[in-house]
Amino acid sequence: MSESSKSKSSLNLNPSPTLQCKDLHEYLKSRSAQFLETLYNYPTICLAVYRELPELARHFVIRLLFVEQPVPQAVVTSWVSQTFAKEQAKACEALSELSVWQEAPIPGGMPGWMLAQSFKKNLKVALLGGGRAWSMSSSLEPDGKARDVAFLDAYALERWECVLHYMVGSAQTEGISADAVRILLHAGLMTRDAEDGSAVITRAGFQFLLLSTAKQVWLFLQHYLHTAEKRSLSAAECLAFLYQLSFSTLGKDYSTEGMSNNMLVFLQHLREFGLVYQRKRKAGRFYPTRLALNIAQVRGVGATPLAAPAQARGYIVVETNYRVYAYTQTNLQVALLGLFTELMYRFPNLVVGVLTRESVRQALRGGITAEQIIHYLEQHSHPQASCLIISQNYMLKSETGGIRTTSMLPPTVVDQIKLWETERNRFTYTEGVVYNQFLSQADFVVLRDYAKQQGVLTWQNERSRTMVVTRHGHDDVKKFWKRYSKSS
């Protein structure tokens, strides 16, 4: 019997997992207990974590906040009716996951709960006052060149769109730093092209572009924090400063006096991303923008959109002849549309393109899925186009691959985009090892049955005595064959 490797790496065409934007709770849950202990030395973080907790968990925290000894777990359980046992379990789980409280023994051996000392101390500071003053709370002389909210919104949008322009490959990429590019690569939103080494958008990157601006910024900053240590920055200190900014007032200037050198470096990075405005690097004041204030409202509750109302409305009309009309003047939206359409004409307030087999396949080759293209066109569908489709009874259920979907787009367009994707997904490539040249049929059957039993058999042909096992199952099958050969 002989074996040979048949590797088909890097050609797996199966969809990748959906991009997930973790909120503060989910992000902190993924960090170590040591990191959380350091983080709870900052009152702003303690207040932010408290606000993220389920309502019942917040109730437990307030009842335990001024208790200096452990409270029996049975007593905590008695605070809630058995009708709400599920909510209580969820609240206790959240408090334990975030290390807000910890088990503490009570004399007599009873288990008890007690708030973590650092969290309890600094939450009191956040709620009642006291402690050390915030570094940016120093008084300032009136700014002779004060900036209003409209200016700050325009500045933040311009800076953040520099990052998005780079992702979609727009020529309008001035202002993007090498550090920002490294974060995009680290986050998996972009990857290096195998041929020329240029950065190209990934499937996750396209999903990223479909998120709200607040979620985009928060996800980007999460990956910044993951790489903070490489910049000699403390991730805990940076996160605390971000939430300090989220509690600030839009349009008000704050002082840099008393900030450490590391925080001044971090401030410059935030300036580049559009979270703060600073006239000069050495200026003693800065203005937080709406991007910074919306960090605390990532879930969408209370978040104010940065884009102008005209940009927030739908602007795309898709016809049954695959023509796409986009009523926009924004270069970013045009560049994003160009990822999967063939642009034909551009007027001052209108772009005309067409969905072709080649343009969609080009997007699919870049990792974008058919569902993402359809979702983007639906999400930005022009209000009048949506009404027209409803009036013409276009709310039909189209069937593609056995999946029934309801779309605001013409069904023929939806089905055709999915068919173009299906053309590429006829084969699924996996790495494997070929076993052949068996001396007897019995040997082949024994090894094949063992591989099938272990769940590592990819393909087999009994007539030619050939079988393929997965790469990860190869070692186990090989060891079994050696044992079998010696005993037979």
Query: What is the pLDDT, as a whole number, of residue 234?
Result: 92
Q: Which residues of 313-327 are buried (b: 16+ CB within 10 A; e: fewer)?
A: ebbbbbeeebebbbb
Residue 438, SS3?
coil
**Orientation of helix 178-186 relative to helix 261-273, angle to 10°:** 80
Contact 315, 325 (CB under 8 A): no
Query: What is the pLDDT, as a whole number, of residue 340?
Result: 93
Query: pLDDT digits over 309-368, tens only?
Result: 445 568 899 999 999 999 998 888 898 899 899 999 999 999 999 999 999 998 888 778
Query: What is the pLDDT, as a whole number, of residue 390?
Result: 56
Whether this prediction's pTM lies above 0.75 is answered by: no
- Would you write out the chain's pLDDT as a tens digit for each of its 488 residues? 666 655 443 333 344 445 777 888 999 999 999 999 999 999 999 999 999 999 999 999 999 999 999 999 999 999 999 999 999 999 999 999 999 999 998 888 889 999 999 999 999 999 988 766 665 655 677 777 788 999 999 999 999 999 998 888 766 656 688 888 999 999 999 988 877 778 888 888 888 887 888 889 999 999 999 988 888 899 999 999 999 999 888 989 898 888 889 999 999 999 999 999 998 887 888 999 999 999 877 655 455 556 544 455 688 999 999 999 999 988 888 988 998 999 999 999 999 999 999 999 988 887 788 988 998 898 888 887 766 665 554 444 444 444 444 567 899 999 999 999 998 877 777 889 999 989 899 999 999 999 999 999 999 999 999 999 999 899 999 999 999 888 87
Query: pLDDT digits over 66-113, tens only?
Result: 999 999 999 999 999 999 999 999 999 999 999 999 999 888 888 999
Class of domain 31-132: mainly alpha
Query: What is the pLDDT, as a whole number, of residue 4?
Result: 62
Query: What is the pLDDT, as a whole number, of residue 109?
Result: 80
From 297, 265, 295, 290, select the one nearest 276 (Cα to Cα): 290
DSSP letter (8 states) at residue 227? T
Say how far apart CA 201 and CA 194 lie, in whole Å. Answer: 13
Say how far apart CA 210 and CA 240 lie, in whole Å. Answer: 28
| CA distances to 147, 246, 250, 256 from 278, in Å | 10, 17, 14, 10
From 120, 104, 23, 10, select the one nearest 64 (Cα to Cα): 120
Query: pLDDT digits over 195-224, tens only?
Result: 777 888 888 888 888 788 888 999 999 999
**Orientation of helix 213-226 relative to helix 178-186, angle to 10°:** 90
**What is the C-alpha end-to-end distance of the chain, expressed in Å?**
14
Out of 3.30.70.2610, 3.30.160.20, 3.20.20.140, 3.30.70.2740, which CATH number does the structure's domain 430-487 have? 3.30.70.2610
Compute the CA torsion angle 263, 266, 270, 272 (nearest 10 deg): 130
Domain definitions of the chain by residue range: 31-132, 149-297, 309-424, 430-487
Query: What is the pLDDT, as a whole number, of residue 400?
Result: 45
Rounded to 5 degrees, what are φ and ψ at 354? -140, 140
